[in-house]
Amino acid sequence: MSIQLGETVPDFELEADNGEKIKLSDYWGKNVVLYFYPKDMTPGCTTEACDFRDNHGDFEGLNTVVLGVSPDPISRHKKFIEKHELPFPLLSDENHEVAESFDVWKLKKNFGKEYMGIERSTFLIDKEGKLAKEWRKVKVAGHVEEIKQALEKIEA
């Protein structure tokens, strides 16, 4: 069962690329863009991460932190961050518990093969920890702009 708009998002704790444990509640008082992506170093995921990187100053100006989540291990996250100079944490959800709680761990099909994986999705959590907006089955092009527009409405 997924979290509904307007509901408080359950707190969770995941390891970040720097080895620290990060709790969602560490960021209450700020807006949080929590984005789930399938895999570090892949074309779509790289484009998405770099779009967030290139707009990082805008997010800071909107009292917002960006957190990326994938099932990749910390070692892979570190390489991804270094290669693309990402200024925000990437969290490792190797056992996909958090992905399942957000209902983004899905059966996927690619070239006739079925497997479980992340459905690219983004969740906007307001300063009080409530789910303000969600985007599922995200198409990368233009997505960061959509998020910024939603944030501008929240911060207005």
CA distance 116 to 101: 15
Task: Return d(Cα 140, Cα 47) in angstroms, integer.
Answer: 7
Closest CA to 45 of 76, 16, 21, 14: 76
Q: Which of 16, 32, 45, 125 is catalytic?
A: 45
Q: How far is CA 118 from CA 96, 108, 152, in A?
A: 9, 8, 28
Give catalytic status of residue 50 as yes or no: no
User: Known catalytic residues?
Assistant: 45
